[in-house]
Amino acid sequence: MPSSPGSSAFTVTPLPAFNDNYIWLLARGHEAAVVDPGDAAPVRRALDRLNLRLTAILVTHHHGDHVGGVLDLKSRTGATVVGPAGEDIEGLDRRLRGGEHVDVLDTRFEVIDVPGHTAGHIAYFAARHTPPLLFCGDTLFACGCGRLFEGTARQMVASLDALAVLPASTLVHCAHEYTLSNIRFALTVEPGNAALRERAARDEAARHRGEPTVPSTLGLELATNPFLRCDVPDVQASVTGRTVDAVDRTAIFAALREKKNNFR
């Protein structure tokens, strides 16, 4: 069947891996792609079960729980592997930088540089898919964000800013099921945020049913994720103890990230 780039639909399914990772499986007809296959086994099982041929592997950053299955899957399927130009990852066929794009399953994915969690972390954004799709690895989580292992708070704020301007309808596909813990922290930051309280009830119910809480939408993240809300007075007051006039968003972000690192 003929297809035109941008209009072709594919299904997106989370494959649980390890304790709380999601490997995203994209399928269109009998062709498939995966994002961040930290483990080959769940991908191979899904390909067999659904009779899919893997043609592309997209990687967001170099951590083992995102790349551990790449070489196995590549050698078995011959899939093309794309990933960040700025990181040392075995098996990459194409090294991508922000501003470049890659076509997967007849859909164009724009590459966005999002350093902070790691120094060369990239995200993939399918602007012309309906709705738009974002695969952001360990940068933006549902109601949270990744830890700063290699980058600075300033870099992470710039990275989150680059994602925050995408359409509100964008489906945000992160790589971990950390949502309930993130929401518990967010509620300590903004206990009066009605959208956040609604989200808490909805996502707790989803987990009770054994369902993933992701993808979320960017609009929901903007309304509930404290790390995207460093310019909101309640968020500022939660880390400074007062509402501040001249807002240093980076300082607010850094204080919030530090608070979350110590949150149990």
**Among 63, 129, 173, 257, which residue sits at the site for Zn ion (rule: CB under 5 A)?**
63
Least distance (Å) from Zn ion to the CB of residue 117?
6
Q: Find the shortest distance in angstroms from Cβ 151 to Zn ion.
A: 12
87 versus 138: smaller Cβ distance to Zn ion = 138
Q: Which window, 69-77, 108-116, 135-143, 227-235, contacts Zn ion (CB under 5 A)?
A: 135-143
DSSP 117-161: SSTT-EEEEETTSSS-EEEEETSEETTEE---SSS-HHHHHHHHH
CB neighbour list of residue 184: distance below 8 Å, 6 or more residues apart: 263
Interatomic CA distance for residues 239 and 258, integer angstroms = 10
Of 31-39, 131-139, 210-218, 240-248, the window that binds Zn ion (rule: CB under 5 A) is 131-139
- CB of 149 vs Zn ion, minimal distance in Å: 7
Contact region for Zn ion (CB under 5 A) — 58-66, 77-85, 93-101, 165-173?
Answer: 58-66
In the complex, least distance from residue 119 CB atom to Zn ion, rounded to whole angstroms: 12
Q: Is 138 in the site for Zn ion (CB under 5 A)?
A: yes
Q: Assess 87 for contact with Zn ion (CB under 5 A).
A: no
Q: Give the total of residues touching Zn ion (CB under 5 A).
A: 2
Known catalytic membership, residue 65: yes
- Hey, which residues are catalytic here? 61, 63, 65-66, 117, 138, 176
Instruction: Provide the binding-site residues for Zn ion, judged by CB under 5 A.
Output: 63, 138
